[in-house]
Amino acid sequence: MAVQDTTHSPSIRPLYRREYEALAQQGFFADEDVELLDGRIVVVAGEGSDHAAVTRRLTRILIEAIPADQGEVGVGNPLGLSDLSEPQPDFMVIEPRSGYRAAHPTTATLVIEVAHASRRTDLGLKAVLYAAAGIPDYWVVDLTRDEIVVHGQPAGTSFASVTRHRDGVVRPLHHPGVAVDVRDLLR
């Protein structure tokens, strides 16, 4: 039985990214799939075969369409958004350079999350974090609704533009050579 102290509410402090990374390097999360979101360690939702299939298709599309001198495609890699957040988006496109050896990239021109079990977090908290970090193009491939939700024009902690696509071709803002046929991707 948990004991509750109703007379005093304890202070809870966030975990900072530098602390999270130090714990990870020491092996504290070796057997766990976690990410740091807004100062909290969040267990990454397990995804099924539909998530894996869409991830494979998007990997091919992005890598084939983005020349190396125009961007590097990260798949499931950490993105150091702030002192309190280091998500591991399904995809990110970062500026082409080799200067990330000492630290994770802190921005991206495109971030894509493939969502099923993670839908609530991807459309909620992560959208807030990506907007606050100024990510110009954030997509959520929503497998529960068979659509791509495109977020653009970050303004504070939200996006001024949010559009939903169930068919047609979607193109990233900074990578017009990428053409994602929504129905083909979600088949």
Domain at 170, CATH number: 3.90.1570.10
- Band (pLDDT 50/70/90 cuts) for residue 46 is confident
- Band (pLDDT 50/70/90 cuts) for residue 97 is confident
* Domain presence at residue 11: no
97 close to 105: Cβ distance less than 8 angstroms? no
| Placement of tokens 């958004």 in the chain | 81
- pLDDT on residue 156: 95
**For residue 148, which of 174, 121, 180 has the smallest C-alpha distance?**
180
Instruction: Compute the distance between CA of residue 147 and CA of residue 185 in angstroms, rounded to an integer.
Output: 10
Domain span holding position 65: 45-185
Mode of pairing for the β-strands spanning 180-181 and 169-170 = antiparallel
**For residue 61, which of 174, 168, 187, 171 has the smallest C-alpha distance?**
171
- Comparing 25-34, 135-144, 155-164, the range with the smallest average pLDDT is 25-34
Say how many Å lie between the first and final Cα of the chain, rounded: 48
- pLDDT on residue 6: 62
* Domain presence at residue 154: yes
- Band (pLDDT 50/70/90 cuts) for residue 98 is low
> What are the pLDDT digits (tens) for 51-75?
999 999 999 999 999 999 999 999 9
- How many separate domains does the chain show? 1
* Domain presence at residue 7: no
* Domain presence at residue 22: no
- Band (pLDDT 50/70/90 cuts) for residue 2 is low
* Domain presence at residue 17: no
> What are the pLDDT digits (tens) for 107-150?
999 999 999 989 999 999 999 999 999 999 999 999 999 999 99
* Domain presence at residue 60: yes
